[in-house]
Chain A
Amino acid sequence: MSTATDALQTRAEILKLARMLERDPAELAYLEPVSLADLCALRDHVTDVLFNANSSTLNRLATASKLLPAGLTATISERAFGPLLSARMAGRLEPEAAVSVASKLPTPFLADLAVELHPRRASAVISLIAPAQIAAITGELARRGEHVTMGRFVGHMGDPAMAAALGAMDNTTLLRVAFVLEDKDRLDHMIGLLQQPRLTSLVATAGQEGLWLEALDLLGHVSPERRRQLVANPLALDQAAVEAIVATVVKHELWPEVQVLAEHDAALRNRLASVHGT
């Protein structure tokens, strides 16, 4: 990945940290010179501190919830605890009990909770949530433009849930989520769950929506086979698209990522050669 793309990922990481600390991301702009790896490590440490704080109280509440039916626990979660504390509690409940409570909560509340939840702390719960409910929550998060939140979760889902989540995203959302995906090692597998027509439509969407950075980043993180599936046909890019791609490649140093597009479009190939030669 280029250093320029790293800078964009860094901003996403600062956004996640700012959310956790309930701060405006602009307040934490001084973290931009810190490396992406160090920022991820910092967020992990802050996550641990906040999730371990008040541990005994949260554990006692989780124990007490065993005395209550799931419906009442859901009511208490929504009306008394709210999304932040419910997110802190989620990983402390028995996963089956947590899923039972979640099944009784409204989708907007679960979307609020998802924003606050740290997937690593509730991985077992996430993996048990029914694909239909995952699709509903994903649809709500997509409507809110919560790409970073969705990007944190996808890696913790099984294939049926992941496929349901992908089905609830339009191509624009999918490209943006893929760009900020927390576990990029799963990107190839995730994209592999899409049918061929949708795979090829992603590049078309990138052109229509001006999402070439997201598309090039995606191409840079998938296997050669998946790249061939994503760019399976001649592209016939118009002049504006060629210029937009070249500008993105030059600005973010994405020369290896653009190769597969260049192989499928002569105009792009020629334009890149002229830029690279200057």
Chain B
Amino acid sequence: MGGAKPAEEAFETLRAQLGGELPEGLRKLDREQLVHLDAAVREARHRQAQALAAAGDRALSHVPRLLRGPIRRITG
């Protein structure tokens, strides 16, 4: 369990991950808890990005061949 300074750093790391917004009441949490919460948010973002990449490929297989080119041009 960390001291005051590491907990403050973990608070700031989580705040940065949340776009600079974090309720002051979360200062009640200790370093380990803040690190856990930060990891949970980061992993959720990562899972979402991975799922999106895989879904994009799957989606094209359902699109008629004629439309795949125009769709690819839009989705990049």
A residues near B (Cβ < 8 Å) are 20-23, 27-28, 30-31, 33-35, 37-38, 41-42, 45-46, 48-50, 53-54, 57-58, 60-61, 63-64, 67-68, 72, 75-76, 79-82, 84-85, 88
**Are A67 and B52 interface neighbours, CB within 8 A?**
no
**Are A53 and B67 interface neighbours, CB within 8 A?**
no
A/B interface sample: 29 pairs, CB < 8 A: A21-B43, A27-B36, A27-B40, A30-B36, A31-B29, A33-B28, A34-B28, A34-B29, A35-B25, A38-B24, A41-B21, A45-B19, A46-B44, A48-B18, A49-B17, A49-B45, A53-B45, A53-B48, A57-B52, A57-B75, A61-B56, A61-B59, A67-B70, A67-B71, A72-B63, A79-B58, A80-B58, A80-B62, A81-B59
* B55 interfacial contact with A, CB 8 Å: yes
Which residues on A sit within 8 Å (CB–CB) of B58? 79-81
- Known contacts A50-B48, A57-B75, A85-B55: does B62 contact A21 (CB below 8 Å)? no
**Are B67 and A21 interface neighbours, CB within 8 A?**
no
* B23 interfacial contact with A, CB 8 Å: yes
Which residues on B sit within 8 Å (CB–CB) of A64? 70-71, 74-75
- Known contacts A48-B19, A84-B51: does B62 contact A60 (CB below 8 Å)? no
Q: Helix, strand, loop or mixed for chain B's interface?
A: helix
- 5 A-B pairs closest in CB distance: A38-B25, A38-B23, A80-B58, A80-B59, A64-B74
Task: Point out the residue from B23, B25, B49, B56 that lies within 8 Å of A53, measured CB to CB.
Answer: B49
**Are A21 and B59 interface neighbours, CB within 8 A?**
no
Q: What's the least CB distance linking A64 to chain B, in Å? A: 4
Known: A37-B23, A53-B48, A80-B58. 8 other contacts (CB 8 A): A31-B29, A34-B26, A54-B49, A54-B52, A57-B52, A60-B75, A67-B70, A72-B62
Complex CA–CA separation, A215 to B17 (angstroms): 40
Complex CA–CA separation, A81 to B48 (angstroms): 11
**Are B74 and A38 interface neighbours, CB within 8 A?**
no
Within 8 A of A (CB), among B10-62: 17-19, 21-26, 28-29, 33, 36-37, 40-41, 43-45, 47-49, 51-52, 55-56, 58-59, 61-62
